[in-house]
Amino acid sequence: MTTAAPPVNQLTPLEWVRKNLFKNWWSGVLTILLIPLILVLGYRAFLFFFVNGQWEAVQRNLTLFMIGTFDREMEWRIYSQILLFVLAFGIGLGTNSAAVQDRAEDAGLPYERSSVLATVGRMWSLVVFLGILLWFASTDDVGGLLNPFLLIGAAVAVLLVGFQAFRFPRRLRSAGWLLTATFLVLGFQVVSGFDVGGWLPLGLTYGIAAYMVAPVGRFEAGWLRIVMRLVAAVAVVAVIRTIYALVDSPGIGWDEWSGLHLTLMVSAIAIVLAFPLGLLLALGRRSTLPAVRIMSTMYIEVIRGVPLITLLFMGQFILGFMLPAGTDLSAVSRAIAAMTLFTAAYVAEIVRGGLQALPRGQTEAGQALGLAPPTIMNRIVLPQALRAVIPAMVGQFISLFKDSSLLFIISIVEFLRVRSLVHTQPDFRAVSIAETLVFVAIGYWAFAFAMSRESQRLERRLRVTR
């Protein structure tokens, strides 16, 4: 199919100005009023950012803003974490781009693989934030982040290495995803420690993977196949558990994290924990069993009716009392519990939206094939519904990320609370208040903006492919 590109009307600058700024008298008046306003505001902003602003409070406390009171001896853990996460991100990116290409090839459509550069370009706000950090770090004589340039260079290298996952042959596509998950878990545990209890996430991931790929084709009976799959899964889990038991090196738990690190990790942990709960609640609310439906609906509506801060207060003041005497949960754990319970209700509503948007015919087709209800749910309904809600889930993650600033109010030292530490230092008492706030705001903005762009892109792509 060949179609000629639509003709491009090249406007001369004068025509452009006339069309976009002075189309009618009303538009012209607005333009004339706005230009001086913009000039004044721009000038003031320029003065604030480059001339008058006393950025020393940020500059000298850059490490504090990033990792807060995290043990400085253990900084290498954070660096390893960043590199592992970047590696996981790169592998995921490469695998995803290869998977999209596979689908395009199957459908016989032309496709050009997305490059790393394009992805980084879409996240320009994060690049700007990194640039600000590097600028402060390089002009700071006290020494902020240890060799930040080295770290960024290593991260870029790791990202490019990870992206090579798109070269994997097609049958290893799932291996790409498995590697992504593995490096995410390892990256998390390089800080939190590889102690005995830490086998669970990796064990579950590999257990499920082993269950799915176990070579059981030569067994005739169906039940025997299931048994053999289970055996494979249990064996893999046992191996992983043993490895963890052998390594058993404790790390630094989340009670001792702070700064931007804590902000990012807490929101990620809460959304991961909230997802299964939210999925259950959504299914419960759509259930045909009245008791289950009523209980799920009540939970969702009550939680959605109160602000997050009341739940955080509950976590701080009540949760401790609700557990048997002697259990001692840290402030961060209680906050994570509150955020998880809160987010689960919103995730449930998002998933419910996805379930409702799925045409009834899909379920009915499954029933016509004589599939059992759980199979219909697992193989037909959920894969489609969950794929459709990815953009909304990213949106929910953004709002959770923004909401994590509420930990400020219950005195947990996250990104915003670091400011209070900075302003207790003798040099910065009651000075540079606007500067530190603007820095924190830019930090939040960079992440939220990058993610919102990504979610908009996902939404557009889903709409196109549907």
Partner 1 sequence: MTETQTRELARPPFWRDIRVLRIVGQVLAVLVVFLVGRWLFSNLIDNLNRVNISTSFDFLSGPTNFQIPFCGECWVIPFQSRFNPRSPVWEMTVVGIKNTFLAGFFGVILASVVGVIVGISRLSENWLVARLATLYVEIFRNIPPLVIIIFFGFAVFTFGPFPILAESWELKVPGTDDNFLMINNDRWGIPGVSQVGEALVFFIVLLVVLIVAILIWRWRTRVFEQIGEPHHRVLWFIGVVVVGLVVAYLVSGAPFAMSWPELTENRRNISGGFQMNWGFMALTVALGLYTASHIGEIIRGSILAVDHGQSEAANALALNAFQRYRFVVLPQSMRIAVPPTINQYLNLVKNTSLGTAVSYAEITALTKTSIGNGRPAVQSIIIMMAVYLSFSLIISLILNIINRRIQLVAR
Of 219 and 408, the one with the shorter C-beta distance to partner 1 is: 408
Minimum separation from the CB atom of position 1 to partner 1 (A) = 26
Distance CA 282, CA 296 (A): 8
Of 35 and 160, the one with the shorter C-beta distance to partner 1 is: 35
Of 143 and 307, the one with the shorter C-beta distance to partner 1 is: 307
Determine contact, residues 27/21, Cβ cutoff 8 Å: yes
Minimum separation from the CB atom of position 26 to partner 1 (A) = 8
Pairing assessment for the beta strands 249-250 and 193-194 based on DSSP bridges = antiparallel
Minimum separation from the CB atom of position 438 to partner 1 (A) = 8
5 is written with which tokens? 């590109």
Backbone angles phi, psi at 126, to 5 degrees: -70, -35
Q: 169: which residues sit within 8 A by CB, 6+ positions away? A: none
Of 190 and 416, the one with the shorter C-beta distance to partner 1 is: 416
Sequential DSSP letters for 64-121: HHHHTT--GGGHHHHHHHHHHHHHHHHHHHHHHHHHHHHHHHHHT----PPPHHHHHH
Distance CA 75, CA 184 (A): 18
Minimum separation from the CB atom of position 43 to partner 1 (A) = 16
Reduce the DSSP state of residue 414 to 3 states and report it.
strand
Of 208 and 292, the one with the shorter C-beta distance to partner 1 is: 292
Residue 193: in which H helix or E strand, if any?
A: strand 193-194
* Chain residues that interact with partner 1, rule: CB under 8 A: 20-21, 23, 27, 30-31, 34-35, 38, 288-292, 295, 302, 304-307, 309-310, 313-314, 317-318, 320-325, 398, 402-403, 405-406, 408-409, 416, 430, 433-434, 437-438, 440-441, 444-445, 448-449, 452
Determine contact, residues 192/74, Cβ cutoff 8 Å: no
Minimum separation from the CB atom of position 365 to partner 1 (A) = 20
Of 39 and 212, the one with the shorter C-beta distance to partner 1 is: 39
Of 76 and 317, the one with the shorter C-beta distance to partner 1 is: 317
**How large is the angle between the packed helices 331-357 and 259-285, nearest 10 degrees?**
40
Reduce the DSSP state of residue 263 to 3 states and report it.
helix
215 is written with which tokens? 């070579």
Of 210 and 347, the one with the shorter C-beta distance to partner 1 is: 347
